[in-house]
Amino acid sequence: MLAKRIIPCLDIKGNRVVKGTRFAQLRDAGDPGSLAASYAAQGADELALLDISATGENRGTSLAVVSSVASRAFIPLLAGGGVRTLDDIQALLRAGADKVAINTTAVLNPRLITQAAKRFGSQAVVVAIDARRANLDGQMPGATQRNIACRQAAWQVVIRAGSEPTQLDALWWARMVERLGAGEILLTSMDRDGTRLGYDIALTRTIARAVNIPVIASGGASGSASIIAVLREGRADAALAASIFHYDRALPRVKQELKNAGIRVRT
């Protein structure tokens, strides 16, 4: 049986790690290579490197950052941000990433998911979904009055680093990306991102129950209790967090508390 994963996330902007709240208010949080090495030593199960400036500034993810992290942290590496083409994916994998997250382009050009899965294997293709709680007005494709009638809530997909709402229903989109060949979903709650209010359990559970691929929960981590909740009630396979790990050495303590709570983690 697989262990549940704890994934520290490094949001990269201009070759530095930054941290924001609700996708804005960025602060500097350190050098990617040093942070990555420190996280690996503290027991991180995987690292996520998301170049949050990439799509907006219309440039590719910094391969140098990926390469530097891969040479210092010997654990699986998920890289993303501004990924548009198969060549972008190949370059990130060659630089040392094991998986690549596709977000905006997956929405604009869903065929890329299938092509990437065929060429690099589905284990290398992660679709990142940024979701925000939406009104139940039935305006989203897939979220017709009929199929959201039995749901308590609906979430809409937002692209371009949280700046552009789409009319896609997150549940419908999650099922779709699985069908298209995604090997994993990185699900971020925009409402909770950087707030330390806990993960959006309802969102995570809704998506995780609907697909057969692993779901990484993201957005809102506040401590061991919130991680235990999203892995248990939220049914996530992995919990991603940034702020709670950046400023203190919380990772080993969190893993111990998960273990004490009876969750299977790598020790």
Partner 1 sequence: MNTTNTKKKTAVSNRTDNKDRPQSEMRPTIGIIDYGAGNVRSVSNALDALDARWRIVVDRDEAQDCSALILPGVGSFGYCMQQLRRRKLIAPLRSGIPLLGICLGMQVLFERSEESPGAKGLCLLAGAVEKLQARKVPHVGWNQVSMKRPWPSGYAYFVHSYCITGVNSAEGIHDAATALGTTRYGTCFRSAVTQSNVTGFQFHPEKSGSYGLALLRRWLTCLPRG
Q: Are strands 16-21 and 24-30 parallel, antiparallel or unpaired?
A: antiparallel
CB of 91 to partner 1, least distance (A): 7
Question: Using the rule CB under 8 A, is 262 a contact of partner 1?
Answer: no
Question: Using the rule CB under 8 A, is 267 a contact of partner 1?
Answer: yes
The one-letter code for the residue type at 251 is L
Contact code string over 51-70 relative to partner 1, x by CB under 8 A: ------------xx--x--x
Tell me the DSSP string of 39-96: HHHHT-S-EEEEETTTTTTT----HHHHHHHHTT--S-EEEESS--SHHHHHHHHHHT
Question: Using the rule CB under 8 A, is 11 a contact of partner 1?
Answer: no
| CB-nearer residue toward partner 1: 67 or 195 | 67
CB of 74 to partner 1, least distance (A): 6
The correct pick among 10, 54, 75, 229 for binding partner 1 (CB under 8 A) is: 75
3-state SS, residue 163 = coil
Q: Please report, for residues 50, 85, 195, 209, the alpha-carbon distance to residue 23 in angstroms, rounded to integers and kept in the order given.
A: 12, 24, 10, 27
Q: What is the dihedral of CA 163, 165, 171, 174, to 10 degrees?
A: -50
Please identify every residue annotated as catalytic.
11, 130
Which region among 38-46, 153-161, 199-207, 224-232 touches partner 1 (by CB under 8 A)?
A: 38-46
Give the binding site for partner 1 (CB under 8 A): 1-3, 5, 40-41, 43, 45, 63-64, 67, 70-71, 74-76, 91, 93-96, 98, 121-123, 183-184, 212, 214, 237, 266-267
